[in-house]
Amino acid sequence: MRPSRPISAKSCIHRRDFLASGAALALVTSGHRSNAQSSKTGTVRVWGEPGPYGGVAVAAMNEWAQKNAPGLKFEIETIPWDGVYVKLMTDLAARRPPGLISVESPIAMQLMAEGLLEPLDDVSQTVGRDRLADKLKWEYFGAWTSKQYIMPAHHQPHLLLVRTDISKELGLSDPDGWSWNDLANAARTITQKKPEMAGICMALGRNLCTDYHFAALLHQAGGKMFDQRNKFEVAFDSPETAEALEFVRELQQFMPKGAVEYSFLQVVDAHVTGKTAMSFYWGRTLGRAAEEAKPIFEATEAFNHARNPRTTRRSNWNDFQGWCIPARNNPFVEEAKQALTYYLKSTPWLVKYCHSLMPNVAPVFKDQAESAELRNHPFYQSKARTVDTYFNTSLEHASSTANELLQGVNPFAGIVHGRSILAQTVQKVMIDKMSPRDAAKWGARELDSVRKENIQLVN
Amino acid sequence: MLIDTGAGRGSPTPLPASRSSARRWFPELSDNTVGLLFIAPFIVTGLFFMVYPVIEAVRMAFFSYNPLRPEVTRYVGLANFQFILSDPLFWDAFLQGTVWTLLSILFQTLLGVSIALLLNRTLPGIAVFRGLLLFPYIVPTVVIALIWRWIFNPEIGVVNYALIATRLVDTPIYWLSTPDMAMASTILLNVWKYTPFVVICVLARLQSVPQELYDAARVDGAGAFRRFLDVTLPQLREVLIVVVVFRTIWTFNKFEEIYLLTKGGPGTSTFNLAVYSFEQSIASLKLGVGAATGVVMMVMLLIGSIVYLRVSGFGREEAGA
């Protein structure tokens, strides 16, 4: 921190003046954290998921560093989705954490409950707690024991992507009005009438993507992994789980044969290369199709998921992704806080973040969401409805494994995903030909062992 | 350091000043001491990187240890062993690992001996061919696994393309999507990569078999197959025993090929004990359970190797002589 006026060694300073100056200096330091200078040097490692948006945020942080910490450089390190859990856990365990992490909400919430993160209440106050966009709450991103540990980065729902050229050609109805039965019938019709194309594609491999895809169906059926309102007792062994598994089994016959090993990338590939007419996915598919397969991009629209015929729920799996700062063995906690504050207070940088891969990362702050600059993107002309579905209307159906049916934070979800328990449950039915009821029982046993081993996280 | 070889004792010559000064500081060392000093770096490295990890793994097998919560580490006795021995996935992984090991070794041995016999001839350019044969063995496993994932890709893989182009199949084969095919694919990769190791070992032995033995067999009227059975195979016996033991240990412990190619899937159909140990240690953060799995693997391989060496009679000839 630079003093407000130069102090000459030769100046005659009275004791009272000196104390007053010191007090003023202390006040200035505490009140204007984002302007504080840092003399630290080195590289602040920032972990983010694959995609250009993490790089945009880091560019903003480097802008802060140039002004306030010339010896520091923020550097993005991309962690592949299927490796994120292992990478995070092993590096944290090895006491070599990054300075700042942008990670999916289930894992962030596990880290939060483990006590591995720095509380960010001060950052949230400075950024502005009233700035959050409508239908979003701070707790969705990560609050625990009345403290905010995770700052919003974006929200990111997976939806139903439909090739409208195919659906029109085959005379299918508007996907926005579909129930599960309509979805299955549409997939069947496409499979029968388009021999070179699968009707629908979702991930069925033993991976994180399958966990997320299946979780949405589970929540649509009204099922849950844990009951947050009852001491996190396992609620997975239920008719709802069996119903969701049964539905996946029904859909599998209309999927690419290789779907049992598909993860994130393969589902995008299948859609972008025209191997499937429908898929469950986040906005990334459209971003890639716009670059690689223009006709498929033009024909694809996103819809909120088909309704479960019994519950009428259209739940998606929405990643309320946030920024968190490891508390232990992190030499750059203060600098990460200040750089993050600088970035999150800058609407232009937040808009650039969304623009970097439209419509994959949805805005989370009002000024960001309402910015005229955000609408200054070609997708707002060519895909206005789809963008609005990803950014706004999907929030009505938001759910997540880290906050099931938005009934409360679930710190076990990260551990569940680390072990791919949902995906393994799905594979018990798809590969081992176990009955959905028995698979639900198997999954419930696994979830129960997660609960028992980690009960201290919720006590 | 002075090395006293014992030479030149009859004609003592005065040592240069620097050497006599060195002798003052370093006493004369015996051959044994010098030998020990030479192997000391290996012993220290081995103790640090091999013996210590094994001891630490054995110790950890009796503890419950989550690296995120080191403060709650506690001694659990045999609980980790009880956990794995009552876990159906452990036994599935053991059976699948055994199948993968036995079939890989069988095909590697058959192909390795066959190729070595073919290469044990003096043909123009054979040296170049022998060199090329090592290619799969020297390429890093990560590279190979990623290439094979492309080769096996059902839509754009070269294997399916070739099979469909030659009309051997009508529809793409999903190499990694069904349990049986995934197991076959991982075995195929292992055989492709490690057969050259068998070839090199067998070829080296073949080239030292005395030609007189074959000549004598011919004089006795033995045909090619008979000569192979009665001359070649007995000569290869010792080297094959060693190759099979080493290849079995290495294959049973193999992690990276399976993990990179199938991640143990689809389902858990290509899990072996190494993948099981990794999943327990890293994905579930149960390092004690992972360590217990490693200890059980070590004991299994130790017992298997001793039994195999006893049954095969390895070293019996030398002992008899």
Residue type, B2: L
Mean pLDDT for chain B? 88
Which burial class, exposed, middle or buried, applies to A17 when counting CB atoms under 10 A from its CB (0-12, 13-18, 19+)? exposed
The nearest alpha carbon in chain A to B278 belongs to A86
Residues B177, A261: C-beta atoms closer than 8 Å: yes
Q: Which has the closest alpha carbon to B60: B286, B313, B291, B320?
A: B291
| In chain A, domain spans | 33-157+319-380, 159-318+404-457
Dist CA A413 CA A400 (whole Å): 9
Residues B263, A206: C-beta atoms closer than 8 Å: yes
In A90-109, the residues whose Cβ lies within 8 Å of chain B are 90, 92-94
Å between A72 CA and nearest CA of chain B: 28
pLDDT tens profile B247-305:
999 999 999 999 999 989 888 899 999 999 999 998 888 999 999 999 999 999 999 88
Q: Which of A95, A260, A262, A268 to mutate against chain B (most B CBs within 10 Å)?
A: A260
Residues B267, A261: C-beta atoms closer than 8 Å: no
Residues A432, B267: C-beta atoms closer than 8 Å: yes
Dist CA A409 CA A401 (whole Å): 9
Dist CA B294 CA B299 (whole Å): 9
Can you name the CATH fold of B86-320? MetI-like fold (1.10.3720)
Indicate the class that CATH gives domain A159-318+404-457: alpha beta
Q: Which has the closest alpha carbon to A117: A148, A78, A94?
A: A148
Can you name the CATH fold of A33-157+319-380? D-Maltodextrin-Binding Protein; domain 2 (3.40.190)
Residue type, A299: A
Q: Predicted ipTM?
A: 0.77
Q: Which has the closest alpha carbon to A206: A446, A420, A456, A459?
A: A420
Assess contact for A176 and A125: CB atoms under 8 A: no
| Residue-level pLDDT at B287 | 92
Residues A206, B266: C-beta atoms closer than 8 Å: yes
| Residue-level pLDDT at B25 | 64
| Residue-level pLDDT at B29 | 84
Nearest to B67 among A93, A427, A428 (CB): A93
pLDDT tens profile B129-161:
888 888 888 889 899 988 988 888 887 889 999
Kindly provide the b/e burial profile for residues B198-221, where b requires at least 16 CB atoms within 10 angstroms of the residue's own CB. bbbbbbebbeeeeeeeeeebeeee
Span between the terminal Cα atoms of chain B, in Å: 41
Residue A230: in which H helix or E strand, if any?
A: none
User: Tens place of pLDDT for every residue, chain A, 459 residues?
Assistant: 333 333 333 344 444 454 444 444 444 444 444 456 888 999 999 999 888 999 999 999 999 999 999 999 999 999 887 778 888 878 887 888 999 999 899 999 999 999 999 999 999 999 999 999 999 999 999 999 899 999 999 999 999 999 999 999 999 999 999 999 999 999 999 999 999 899 999 999 999 999 999 999 999 999 999 999 999 999 999 999 999 999 999 999 999 988 998 999 999 999 999 999 999 999 999 999 999 999 999 999 999 999 999 999 999 999 999 999 999 999 999 999 999 999 999 999 999 999 999 999 999 999 999 999 999 999 999 999 999 999 999 999 999 999 999 999 999 999 999 899 999 999 999 999 999 999 999 999 999 999 999 999 988
Q: Could you give the dihedral angle defined by the CA atoms of residues B179, B184, B187 and B188, in that order, rounded to the nearest 10 degrees?
A: -140
Q: Cα-atom radius of gyration of chain B, to the nearest Å? A: 27
Residues A90, B269: C-beta atoms closer than 8 Å: no
The answer to whether domain A33-157+319-380 and domain A159-318+404-457 are alike in fold is yes
pLDDT tens profile B158-200:
999 999 999 999 888 888 888 899 999 999 999 999 999 999 9
In A116-145, the residues whose Cβ lies within 8 Å of chain B are 116
Dist CA A12 CA A120 (whole Å): 42
pLDDT tens profile B29-82:
888 999 999 999 999 999 999 999 999 999 999 999 988 888 889 999 999 999
Å between B83 CA and nearest CA of chain A: 12
Residues of CATH 1.10.3720.10 domain(s) within chain B? 86-320
Assess contact for A42 and A20: CB atoms under 8 A: no
| Residue-level pLDDT at B45 | 95
Structure tokens belonging to residue B70 = 């080191």
Tokens 């200035």 map to which residue? A28
pTM: 0.84
Kindly tell me if the per-residue pLDDT of B217 is higher than 70. yes
The nearest alpha carbon in chain A to B65 belongs to A93
Which residues, 6+ apart, have CB-to-CB distance to B145 below 8 Å?
Answer: B189, B256, B257, B260, B261
Residues B268, A257: C-beta atoms closer than 8 Å: no
Residue type, B43: I
Q: Which has the closest alpha carbon to B206: B311, B314, B139, B130?
A: B130
Å between A141 CA and nearest CA of chain B: 22
Assess contact for A400 and A104: CB atoms under 8 A: no
A252 in B contact zone (CB under 8 Å): no
What is the number of helices (H) and of strands (E) in chain B? 17, 2
More confident residue, B3 or A104: A104
Å between A339 CA and nearest CA of chain B: 27
